[in-house]
Chain A
Amino acid sequence: MAETLTLAATHGARTDRAADPASPLAVRGLTVSYGDKPALFSVDATFPAGAMSAIVGPNGAGKSTFLKAALGLIPAVSGEVRVFGQGLAAARDRIAYVPQRASVDWDFPTTVIDVVLMGRYRRLGLFRRVSRAERAAATDALARVGMEGFADRQIGQLSGGQQQRVFLARALAQEADLYLLDEPFAGVDAATERAIIDVLKALKSQGQSVIAVHHDLSTVAEYFDHVFLVNVRAMGEGPVATAFTPEALARTYGGRLAATQLDQLRLTGA
């Protein structure tokens, strides 16, 4: 397991470990920049299949950028992304993405069930009508996040936690193998956090892979199996037990973590 602890000194051209073809997401030498300042520089990361992985790092460290670049939503200056050993285009159908809920206008004229049905649009193509089976799949996805009673609600009437659940239901409706979530627990109530983590654990138990940008260090060990630490450069990756250490966190956050936070993590056995 020692070699999975990638250190800051690593660069894109690593050869000591071949890309695992079964890895749901493997990134090599990924560099993304806004203007002249790299948001990510030469980042390598390999995520394990059938596990829950967290992407952890300080604000502005490029966590969301990493997800977006891995999905091809923003252009990369360099680097390679493999999803289940394939190129992005070939693997599109196997990926479901849950963006930050603040990224859309919730006054948009649509209902909860119609948002979830958006997860089926790719199957429907341009011509097919929304069949009863499609509607049933969307309703089922809503039930899994505990929102079946909200199907016809206008989305502007939802609370923050309910919005997040609807976004998760839309991803579930895609029936994908890899779920990429951007800060799914940001600003949601405790009950929603519980509901979401239960859904994600159920996905994992069915062999699916979950990768989430996560900002709450105190729950990393409880929720996740694998962690990827990033702050512009890759700062470490591996099983939570071995890679999520106070030393690795201090390296990732620089001086930005209070000593008490690190002590707390030490006490919880991370």
Chain B
Amino acid sequence: MEAVLAALTLQAGYNAALVTLGAALLGFAAGTAGTFLFLRKRALVSDAMAHATLPGVGLAFLVMVALGGEGRSLFGLLVGSALSALAGLLLVDGITRRTRLAEDAAIGAVLSVFFGAGVVLLTIIQTLDRGRQAGLESFLLGSTAGMLFEDAVLIAAGGATVVALIWLLRRPMTLVAFDPGYAAATGVDTRRIDLAMMGLVMAVTVIGLKLVGLILIVALLIIPAVTARFWTDRVERVLWTAGGIGAAAGYTGAALSASAPSLPTGPIIVLLAAGLFTGSLLLSPGRGVLAAVLSRRRFQARVHRRQGLLALARSEPIHDPLTLRLLRAEGLIRPDGVATDKGRAQAAKIARDERRWDVAREVHQDTALTGRYDGLTPIEEVFTPDEIAGFDARLGPPHPVGG
């Protein structure tokens, strides 16, 4: 516990602190880059791209060993993974555009073939007696163990560059994600913007390989964006909220992993982000599950209350148990079902509003206002007091409702 606290407060040593901050920056970059991926509905392409990095890691290792090195330069491995991710991306793009296969089929094919090739390459590498292959498998699930100062700097600088480019391109990327046809008509090169977006996602994937691992990086790209979407209806806020969520997950995940070095970083980060996602899914005021249940309940109560009062106004019997319960709870009817004074007054008002609506629909036949005649919208919300007075003048005096 103490080790965890030390790691969370950046007291677990200089290197660990640097790695933790690097992970936070990477998480921020992933959250923002992933937002546009999510809005453009291309989330799965990034999964194919992430899995396509693996053969690049193996090949880069072999090339570096063949050139007489140890094959452990993170930069070299990342260059290799970027090239093979690019190959995977172009293949998905090519298959989608030049054949009749849909993108999902292309993604499935590219993802599995590249990943399979990568696993074969890594297995062969394990049997070699040259170079220091230990640690390559950490590219699958991510690890903070054995991270060097230079590695942390590379991750932090890469993350910062990605965030800066996203800030710069936020307007054209928003436009292309919302309405690509209109974007193209105003002279935006949508293909280039899409490529830039995928390039930024690729950069996040590649620099996140060592820390988060290629299998789960897609979660760090997508979960923050869908989580942020629960809390706001504006692109810019989704963007920066997603960045914050990604940063929080990256920071905490790296700190936990650093305090218990056998824990892989990727799964921890994903579980943290998934926790935030689940909380948002349940609790978001506008789009959450709980809010939806509550508002359906409230709506149902309004409908039943209104129907109950209309039945009172027409002296019809009420049988529905929910309606009876609601009217009783408000003191509009007595326990035996007879209307109280308060109930009669409200029923009379509702009956009058119904007749006002009849007049209103005749007077305003040709306008959209009568479209609000849905049984629930109060007439005072649709027409001004003097208009309602006009309807009343045609109606004559109010009628009392008998009990």
Which residues of A are in contact with B by a Cβ distance under 8 Å? 68, 71-73, 89, 92-93, 95, 97, 99, 103-105, 108-111, 114-115, 118-119, 121-122, 124, 126-127, 154, 156, 161, 170, 174, 180, 189-191
Contacts and interface: CB of A to CB of B under 8 A. Distances in A.
22 contacts: A68-B181, A72-B184, A73-B185, A89-B187, A92-B187, A97-B186, A108-B235, A109-B233, A109-B237, A110-B178, A111-B234, A115-B178, A118-B175, A118-B179, A121-B172, A126-B169, A127-B168, A156-B233, A180-B185, A189-B371, A190-B368, A191-B367
B11 to A, nearest CB: 39
Contact of B171 (A73, A97, A126, A191): A126
Contacts, number: 77
Contacts of A126: 168-169, 171-172
Interface of B: 39, 168-169, 171-172, 174-175, 177-179, 181-182, 184-187, 229, 232-235, 237-238, 366-368, 371
Contacts of A68: 181
A108 B187 contact: no
B186 A124 contact: no
Nearest to A72: B184
Contacts of B237: 109
A73 B175 contact: no
Query: What 8 A-B pairs are tightest by C-beta distance, nearest first?
Result: A97-B185, A154-B233, A92-B187, A191-B368, A104-B179, A71-B185, A99-B181, A109-B233
B185 A95 contact: yes
Contact of A104 (B168, B178, B235, B238): B178
B356 to A, nearest CB: 22
Contact of A99 (B177, B179, B366, B371): B179
A190 B367 CA distance: 8
A159 to B, nearest CB: 9
A73 B184 contact: yes
Given A114-B235, A126-B168, A126-B169, A190 B178 contact: no
Given A72-B184, A73-B185, A118-B178, A109 B235 contact: yes
B188 to A, nearest CB: 8
A191 B366 CA distance: 8
Contact of B233 (A72, A97, A111): A111
Contacts of A190: 366, 368
A122 B187 contact: yes
A72 B172 CA distance: 18
A102 to B, nearest CB: 11
A190 B238 CA distance: 36
A220 B169 CA distance: 42
Nearest to A67: B185
A105 B367 CA distance: 28
Contacts of A121: 171-172, 175, 186
Contacts of A108: 39, 177-178, 235
B233 A174 contact: no
Contacts of A161: 368
Nearest to B229: A109
B189 to A, nearest CB: 11
Contacts of B169: 126
A104 B181 CA distance: 9
Contacts of B234: 109-111, 114
A195 to B, nearest CB: 10
Given A121-B171, A121-B172, A103 B179 contact: yes
A124 B229 contact: no
A73 B368 contact: no
Nearest to B232: A109
Contacts of B177: 108
A99 B186 CA distance: 12
A97 B229 CA distance: 29
Contacts of A105: 178
Contact of A110 (B168, B185, B235, B366): B235
Which of B181, B184, B238 has the most CB atoms of chain A within a 10 A radius of its CB?
B181
A154 B229 CA distance: 13
Nearest to B371: A189
A124 B171 contact: yes
A99 B229 contact: no
A110 B175 contact: no
A157 B39 CA distance: 18
Nearest to A111: B234
B168 A97 contact: no
A191 B234 CA distance: 29
A189 B234 CA distance: 28
A68 B185 CA distance: 9
Contacts of B233: 109-111, 154, 156
Contacts of B175: 118, 121
A99 B182 contact: yes
Contact of B182 (A97, A127, A154, A191): A97
A103 B368 contact: no
Nearest to A128: B171
Nearest to A118: B175
Given A71-B185, A89-B187, A126-B171, 13 more contacts: A92-B186, A97-B181, A99-B182, A103-B179, A105-B178, A110-B233, A110-B234, A118-B175, A154-B233, A180-B185, A189-B368, A189-B371, A191-B367
A97 B177 CA distance: 17
Contacts of B171: 121, 124, 126
Contacts of B184: 71-73
A109 B238 contact: yes
Contacts of A124: 171
A65 B326 CA distance: 56
Which of A68, A95, A109, A122 has the most CB atoms of chain B within a 10 A radius of its CB?
A109
A138 to B, nearest CB: 14
